Amino acid sequence: MNQQKSFESERATLYIVATPIGNLSELTPRAKEILENADVIAAEDTRNTMKLLSHFQIDTRLIAHHKFNESASSKGIVSLLREGKSVAVVSDAGYPLISDPGSELVQEVIEAGYPVVPVSGSNAMLNALVASGLSPQPFLFYGFLPSNERQRIRELQTLRHYPMTLVFYEAPHRIEKMLNNCLEVLGDRPMCLARELTKKHEEFLRGTIQEVLPVAATRKGEMVVIIAGDEEKKAPDVTQAMPLIKEHIQSYVSEGMTTNEAIKRVARERGMSKNEIYKEYHGLN
């Protein structure tokens, strides 16, 4: 067990600082103070963060921490903590770790025994969810679906019977294809596209997928897509909505997966081992 009392520790600390997703007024006074007082700021893109720091006249030393150097830089940050230096980690916008680098760093720092403290702020998924008009709880945050269409369809097939509201990030050049895939796989459900949150051109498109799709295809900017869960599977216990193991595998095989791929997918969805599923499917139990 690892117990952390964030406000009682004198140890050097890693702060996870959320930065504005558009509107700079959303940087909280606490975030500003932490960025000013940290010994080092680890930034996803130092040039981008430099603009934020200049705006708030903060001159804390910057180092790079991005997906291409995450392992090496996480070790470097742990060394800084060992020297007694506190580090604030930021991404380009919103929360680090949320479709952004940082999760390896957090794990390393916890393992090394230093406090990891979150500093609240803006985040695209929650802003979109609360204003979407769709059921906010329970929800499943997926982030970006795969850019490969075949893989994207497979992921959507996995999600299709989930009763919880689904939340995705998407790039504007893929939005039309993505929503078409959602329509094909999930059916015509209520959805909301939230774009340019907190910025001058903030906009919400609420309706069914079929209604929103043609308008969404004309839009640019940063986007969050929220789609209602499977109305027929409102039961909170997802496993109760699950078919028998054999039927579950066969449904994927009939959609074009090999038996092995289907076994792997079903094992993941049911939280069981591939071996258990394999034995059940082949009647070896």
Binding site for ligand SAM (CB under 6 A): 21-22, 91, 93-95, 98-100, 123-125, 169-171, 194-199, 222-224
Smallest distance from ligand SAM to CB 169, Å: 3
- Cis omega before residue 163 (within 30°)? no
Q: Answer whether 143's CB lies under 8 Å from 225's CB.
A: no
* Cβ within 8 Å of residue 4, ≥6 positions away: 115, 116
Residue whose Cβ sits closest to ligand SAM = 94
Query: Closer CB to ligand SAM, residue 90 or residue 164?
Result: 90
Query: Closer CB to ligand SAM, residue 105 or residue 267?
Result: 105
Q: Count CB neighbours of 208 within 10 A.
A: 15
What long-range pairs does 279-282 form, CB within 8 A, spacing at least 24?
Answer: 280/245, 280/246, 281/245, 281/246, 281/249
Smallest distance from ligand SAM to CB 199, Å: 6
Q: Answer whether 77's CB lies under 8 Å from 14's CB.
A: yes
Smallest distance from ligand SAM to CB 53, Å: 18
Query: Closer CB to ligand SAM, residue 122 or residue 263?
Result: 122
Smallest distance from ligand SAM to CB 220, Å: 11
Q: What is the dihedral of CA 7, 35, 108, 84, to 10 degrees?
A: -70
Smallest distance from ligand SAM to CB 144, Å: 7
Smallest distance from ligand SAM to CB 136, Å: 16
Query: Closer CB to ligand SAM, residue 195 or residue 248?
Result: 195
Smallest distance from ligand SAM to CB 222, Å: 3
Amino acid letter, residue 223: M
Q: Dihedral sign, CA of 228, 232, 237, 238?
A: negative
Query: Closer CB to ligand SAM, residue 14 or residue 277?
Result: 14
* C-alpha–C-alpha distance, residues 212 and 183, integer Å: 11
Query: Closer CB to ligand SAM, residue 179 or residue 224?
Result: 224
Query: Closer CB to ligand SAM, residue 22 or residue 229?
Result: 22
Query: Closer CB to ligand SAM, residue 99 or residue 251?
Result: 99
Smallest distance from ligand SAM to CB 124, Å: 3
